[in-house]
Amino acid sequence: MNPDPTPSHPGRRSVLAGAFAIGTGALLSSVLPAGVARAAGGPAIADTNAWGARPSSSPINVLAGVPDKVIVHHTATANVTDYSQAAAFSLARSMQTYQMDSESWIDTGQHFTISRGAYIMEGRHNSLSTLLGGTQHVESAHCTAQNTVAIGIENEGTYSTVDPRSEQYAALVDLITSICRQYGLRAYQIYGHRDFNNTECPGDRLYALLPQLRRDVAARIGGDPTGPVWPMLSSGASGERVKTLQYLLVQHGATLTVDGSYGPATQSAVTAFQNTTHASADGVAGNQTWSQAVAPLARGASGSAVTAVQSQLVAHGIPVTVDGAFGPGTQSGVTSFQNSASLPADGVVDARTWSRLVA
């Protein structure tokens, strides 16, 4: 078996992004070996059979629907110089062994792994088949509180003080492009692990590359790659943004009066939420807290988070009924807001629309 990391349509690829072919020119092949698959136009991905995975210890949970983001990690292992396929497959096996035997997970945590040699591999079983199907994904174990909504990609190496190899980065762009196409995600929905959990992952250097990564993916799939920017709220703050935060905390189970005042009760609820989601537990609502607190909302949704959106729309001068039910009136209000904010007017309150509402 020879998982070939080269594109199946090199002519089209070279038009879209010449840099993509770095290091792979000698491996061009139109026939995929056993154990390797790719979505249309996507990179070759070696499945769990190809690298010799153990069976999962429990059935994999296949989730209906598509994820709403991609989260980038580094493995925090050595920056090896063996770029072979054998080394890649050995990495995949050792990660699975560690995660099952030492972490007691049912299988590899992440959906996909990219080796230093730029080999792309399936992590958790069924990640590849569900990606190819484009309508389901598998529950994972790579980012606390995001494992049912986020595709996780581990990049072999430690990128705190050095960048990934250009070949590895190119494979990452290609894999995420394919994930976005299969699941209908946008380039700005690419995040780093540290956007959600109290961790250094994916390292300062790889994290600093994420804006470029979003731009490189957007160059292939279109759209504005600018990600959400969140306000920092702390004790003593007040106003509509604090109300939004409070509504979201209530949505996540807090018992809290929504009064627009960031007092001790709000601070305590923020800290509890941060602990639950493995964010930095400092009682200050910043990037991690907001990123963990918001979920996409669309017509048919109901609850406190919907109330938050409606209250924000009213505060922005868009008259909607504040009743916690996301009906046609709310959808129309969201669309109006998105138009005024130069966002894609799809009527869905995703993280970027949330961030603009509280900006």
Task: Name the site residues for Zn ion (rule: CB under 5 A).
Answer: 73, 193, 201
Which CB sits closer to Zn ion, 192 or 333? 192
Closer Cβ to Zn ion, 200 or 282, answer by number: 200
Instruction: Please name the residues in contact with 131: beta carbons below 8 A apart, sequence gap of 6 or more.
Output: 39, 45, 111, 137, 151, 178, 179, 182, 183
**Minimum distance of Zn ion from residue 130's CB (angstroms):** 21
CB half-sphere exposure, 321, CA atoms < 13 A: 8
CB of 113 to Zn ion, least distance (A): 12
> Measured from the CB of residue 145, what is the shortest distance to Zn ion in angstroms?
13
How far is Cα 159 from Cα 179, in angstroms, rounded to an integer? 23
Q: How far is the CB of 154 from Zn ion (least distance, A)?
A: 7
Q: Which residue is nearest to Zn ion (CB)?
A: 201
Q: Quick one: tokens of 65? A: 């629907």
Name which of 37 and 179 has its Cβ closer to Zn ion: 179
The least CB distance from residue 73 to Zn ion, in Å, is: 3
Q: Which is nearer to Zn ion, 85 or 96 (CB)?
A: 96
DSSP assignment, residue 227? P
d(C-alpha 235, C-alpha 201), whole Å: 28
Given the complex with Zn ion, which of 73 and 124 has the nearer CB atom?
73
Residue ranges of E strands in the chain = 36-37, 45-46, 62-64, 69-74, 112-114, 120-122, 136-138, 150-155, 190-192
